[in-house]
Amino acid sequence: MSDIFQKYCHGATSAAILGEIICEKLKEPIEQSVYKNTARDLTDEIRSNCESLNGSRSNLEQHILKTLAEEEDFDKYMDYIETPRDHFKSFIRDEVSHYITDQFSVSVLPKMEENIKLLQQKIMKAAHESTERVQVKRGDAGLWLKSFTQQLSDELIFSEKDLSGVKHDDVDDVNLLEDVIRKELPVIMSDIRSRFNTETFPVKLDFKFRPDELLIDHLCQCCWVQCPFCKAICTNTIKNHDGDHSVAIHRNIGLNGWFYRKTTNLSINICTSSVASDGNFYPSHSDDKVPWREYRRAGGVYADWSITPDLSELPYWKWFVCRFQKDLEEYYKKTFDGHGKIPDNWRTYSKHEAVETLEKYI
Ligand SMILES: [Zn+2]
Ligand SMILES: [Zn+2]
Torsions phi, psi for 80 (to 5 deg): -65, -40
224 alpha carbon – ligand 2 mean position (Å): 6
228 alpha carbon – ligand 1 mean position (Å): 7
The reported pLDDT for the residue numbered 8 is 47
Helix (H) or strand (E) holding 291: strand 290-291
DSSP 346: G
* Residue 331 CB coordination number (10 Å): 15
Contact 43, 214 (CB under 8 A): yes
DSSP 288: S
230 alpha carbon – ligand 1 mean position (Å): 4
State yes or no: pLDDT of 9 exceeds 50.
Answer: no
Sign, CA dihedral 303-304-310-314, equals: negative
306 alpha carbon – ligand 2 mean position (Å): 10
DSSP letters for 292-328: GGGGGGG-HHHHTB---------HHHHHHHHHTHHHH
357 alpha carbon – ligand 1 mean position (Å): 18
Name every residue whose Cβ is closer than 8 Å to that of residue 279 and which is 6 or more positions away in sequence. 291, 292
For 261-293, the pLDDT digits (tens) are 999 999 999 999 999 999 999 997 778 899 999
Nearest ligand atom owner, CA of 295: 1
State yes or no: pLDDT of 342 exceeds 80.
Answer: yes
What end-to-end distance do the CA atoms of the chain give, in Å? 58
Of the listed ranges 121-135, 172-186, 295-309, the one predicted with least confidence:
172-186
339 alpha carbon – ligand 2 mean position (Å): 31
The Cα–Cα gap between 60 and 355 comes to: 14
53 alpha carbon – ligand 1 mean position (Å): 25
The Cα–Cα gap between 315 and 204 comes to: 45
Helix (H) or strand (E) holding 116: helix 109-137
The Cα–Cα gap between 107 and 10 comes to: 47
Contact 277, 293 (CB under 8 A): yes
The Cα–Cα gap between 273 and 8 comes to: 81
Contact 23, 178 (CB under 8 A): no
For 65-119, the pLDDT digits (tens) are 999 999 999 999 999 999 999 999 999 999 999 999 999 999 999 999 999 999 9
For 114-169, the pLDDT digits (tens) are 999 999 999 999 999 999 999 999 888 889 999 999 999 888 888 777 777 777 76
Burial of 48 (0-12, 13-18, 19+ CB in 10 A): exposed
The reported pLDDT for the residue numbered 173 is 82
